[in-house]
Amino acid sequence: MGRITVRKPVLRLSTAGVRGRRPDTLAVEEPLEIRVAGRPLTITMRTPGDDFDLVAGFLAAEGVIARADDLVALRYCADATEQNTLDVVLADHVPPPDPGMTRAFTTTSACGVCGKSSIEALRVDRPYDIAADPVELTPKVLARLPERLREAQRVFDRTGGLHAAALFDATGEPLAVREDVGRHNAVDKVVGWALRAGLLPLTGRILMVSGRASFELTQKAAQAGIPVLAAVSAPSSLAVDLAEDAGMTLVGFLRGETMNVYTGAHRVTA
């Protein structure tokens, strides 16, 4: 695994005229090329670590795979530099990715949607009936999630530069936490972990993200069968529309003891 953080010199200034040089810890951002059966599929910018989970989650979000036995192998390429190229071997029963989804340019860590060939490619058929998920949870359980997520952000404590995503059960117990420079990568790492562990669909689970709830994060949650998505910040209008259509509970502005429930309020009980 590559380095997660690096030390860089900075000039520290203040309005009081104080000047000084010191080292600062930064989160690493490096490209990861994803290949399927040796053929390049995409390049994404990510924080090294949990790369197998990242790739598995990405392929699940794209509808290429749906369960652990769809994957035969995940391995770093022998010709790769610093483990920045990963090749996927799919099971014989899994069709190869549609050539139309190949991203011919780098995907930035800020946006996972940018490389889509068309808006129609976002409309992946959802494999699970989220609306039928009977899970219920209380506002108190939801209110504890940001603090529990923050407590698990070990690299953020050193850098201040990473997003995080965490999977919780209905009682608020954490199951998996992942960090990355890209919020979509953090979610892919969590979903990929669950897929490789044979846990999909994630019935009765809560996905908590450290930033806003975008359309793509909502789509990734839906693809994994997650009934509740909670975010520290605001959702986008398209995220709300998608959550409503999928039968998902979407919670935003989850801070302190207050929150906004945008969709699926029937799951949040007093």
**CA–CA separation, 183 and 229 (whole Å):** 14
Is there a catalytic annotation at residue 111? yes
List the structure tokens of 15: 């309005």
User: Is 215:193 a contact under the CB 8 Å cutoff?
Assistant: no
The residues, ordered by sequence, that sit 6+ positions from 91 with a Cβ below 8 Å of its Cβ are: 69, 70, 71, 72
**CA–CA separation, 244 and 171 (whole Å):** 23
DSSP state of 4: S
Among 37, 111, 114, 265, which one carries the catalytic annotation? 111
User: Is 153:179 a contact under the CB 8 Å cutoff?
Assistant: yes
Angle formed at CA 50 by CA 44 and CA 51, multiple of 5 degrees:
35
Angle formed at CA 167 by CA 131 and CA 218, multiple of 5 degrees:
50
**34: closest CA among 13, 60, 68?**
60
Cα torsion 88, 41, 207, 151 to 10°: value is 80
**CA–CA separation, 140 and 259 (whole Å):** 11
Looking at the annotation, which residues are catalytic? 111
